[in-house]
Amino acid sequence: IIFIIWAISSWFRRGPSTPDPNTPAGAPRVPSRNLFPKDTLMDLYVYVSQEEVFSDFNNTEALFWFHRDLVYGDWTTGENGDGCYQHYKEMDIPEKVQQNGSLYIHVYFTKSGFNPDPKRKGQYRRLATVHATRMLNKFKRRKFLKTKNLLTGETEADPEMIKRAESHGPVEIISHWHPNLTINMVDDHTAWVKGSVPPPLDQHVKFDAVSGDYYPIVYFNDYWNLQKDYYPINETLTKLPLRLTFCPLSLWRWQLYAAQNARSPWNFLPEDTYEQSDEDQDSVKVALLETNPYLLGLTIVVSIVHSIFEFLAFKNDIQFWNSRQSLEGLSVRSIIFGVFQSLVVLLYILDNETNFVVQVSVFIGLLIDLWKITKVMDVKVRVLPRLVFTDKSTYVESSTKIYDDMAFKYLSWLLYPLFGCYAVYSLLYVEHKGWYSWVLSMLYGFLLTFGFITMTPQLFINYKMKSVAHLPWRMLTYKALNTFIDDLFAFVIKMPMMYRIGCLRDDVVFFIYLYQRWIYRVDPNRVNEFGTSGVDHTQNNTAAADAAPAVTAITDKSEGEKKND
């Protein structure tokens, strides 16, 4: 799927080729060739230095790894017979690196017999040397949230972290280290044409300015390095372990990695907007590494189906409420409570600085819930910003309002004690930034834990009316199918246990809906969600009235005949 998306986006983004200034106007472009033919013998030089531009080739301490007579495109040799070689070493940490300095790796591949040092006359050749550089350490932002127990004022945070937050501020840029890195050399001999390489591959294919041919592609692969395995570099560390792995890489696999690391030019949002958290990145990678391939393939297919069902549920929900004429059998209080729940979720994610895309999606959901209010209640504007909400006549004049009030009355006996207990628990045992954050987190946690209870009033109304014809069954079916899909994701990807329990609770409620649909069979005399039934009661009443005298006459005649007899 990733490869297809990358291919389509590359085709749209390719556009006209950029003119090559070294090519005469109107001259045809000549395909280039790889400067390293297949099975070329190579020597590998790896240097580690604090300088981004390396020139100290005579420094033996900077030489981290030297490997002679590697074969370009060889997939059969190596330590495990797959063409891969490893080298491990622990390095001393320079003082500047301990103080948030940078450390670079410089990789040189030379044809056998040549040297990467340009100062060595006769041993250096430009077309026989491939060079790639990369920063080894990674700078990550660490945010310190000043939370405390609102009653005692104490916190369980590390005192050292508190001191660093006081000196560096709530956001600190810290250098992190990961001990593993893979150096891939792409086994590719495609006849690339300069200026016509599709992005993001064009960022890695380097052409020689004189000959026009391209150098072998050296790719630093750290995709499978989990974010949780990075650890900060500070004064307490004395050694930096580094395990380098050299492996050949096929063209199509390299395209997948390049597509993953590329940033789309269509994205006009800031980088923080779409940047995934460490937990999100790790959860996807762990799922790919540890999940059964068949289950993973099923998950990918089901995720596409999930998106389709989500769209269909959204469409049918809008259609249902837009064409609704009667509120018979529907819980209006549940709709109002849904608006309150969406508002709490939105305020909570805003207070916790959640991803901007998530904020937008929750905000749109809140707007839809507010629109439903106008469908279940009469909203009138008296004096801005004063709004008057009154129940619709189809709701007041029906027995649904009585059942709805009764359901929430019984529900309050359970909901309010649970709410009070959860509020006390959150205040005593959970740390918060302030009272506002406590209110939001307490409400959010309560809704996440006991929000399924708000679905029960509709069950109670169905029980009292002995009917389910008033429900939007198409929308409910699509949402239920999505809930089952969420169950699959919940057990494939690492998620909190409370989320998994929440998915199971929603399934139980839907099965109760299905049970009600089974026991409350179709009755043509029952009024459906549009206020009509399968029998015309007006014609039936007229026919009954016309037939009444005849029936009486027949009865009287029968009695007279009996008397005569």
3-state SS, residue 50: coil
According to DSSP, the β-strands at 377-381 and 218-221 are unpaired
Tell me: do 505 and 547 sit in the same domain.
no
Residue 471 has what DSSP assignment? S
pLDDT tens, position by position, 21-57: 444 444 456 788 999 999 999 999 999 999 999 999 9
- Kindly report the backbone phi and psi dihedral angles of residue 20, in degrees, each rounded to the nearest multiple of 5, phi listed first: -90, 120
Distance between CA 196 and CA 192 in Å, rounded? 7
Give domain status of residue 203, yes or no: yes
Among the residue ranges 3-7, 99-103, 252-256, the one predicted with the least confidence is 3-7
- Kindly report the backbone phi and psi dihedral angles of residue 37, in degrees, each rounded to the nearest multiple of 5, phi listed first: -65, 170
3-state SS, residue 183: strand
pLDDT of 65 reads 95
Tell me: do 555 and 457 sit in the same domain.
no
Give me the number of domains the chain comprises: 3
CB 450 within 8 A of CB 418: yes
pLDDT for 272 beyond 60 = no
Helices 356-376, 332-351: inter-axial angle, 10-degree rounding = 160
| Average pLDDT score over the chain | 75
Distance between CA 368 and CA 525 in Å, rounded? 34
pLDDT for 213 beyond 50 = yes
pLDDT for 100 beyond 70 = yes
Domain span holding position 559? 536-565
Give domain status of residue 24, yes or no: no
Give domain status of residue 276, yes or no: no
pLDDT tens, position by position, 138-186: 988 776 667 777 777 777 665 665 565 555 555 678 889 999 999 999 9
pLDDT (average), residues 337-343: 82
- Which of these three, 248, 266, 284, is where a domain ends? 266
Give domain status of residue 272, yes or no: no
CB 36 within 8 A of CB 74: no
Give domain status of residue 287, yes or no: no
pLDDT tens, position by position, 378-408: 777 766 667 777 777 666 666 777 877 787 7
Tell me: do 484 and 540 sit in the same domain.
no
Look up residue 466 and give its two tokens: 């002995």
Query: Could you tell me which residues come within 8 angstroms of residue 516 by beta carbon, excluding any fewer than 6 positions away?
Result: 459, 462, 463, 468
Secondary structure tally for the chain: helices H, strands E: 16, 13
Distance between CA 193 and CA 29 in Å, rounded? 7
pLDDT of 396 reads 65
Give domain status of residue 500, yes or no: yes
Give the percent of the chain with pLDDT over 70. Answer: 68
Look up residue 175 and give its two tokens: 């250098």
SS (H, E, C) 55-95: CCCCCCCCEEEEEEEEECCCCCCCCCCCCCEEEEEEEECCH
Q: Is the pTM of this model over 0.85?
A: no
pLDDT for 514 beyond 60 = yes
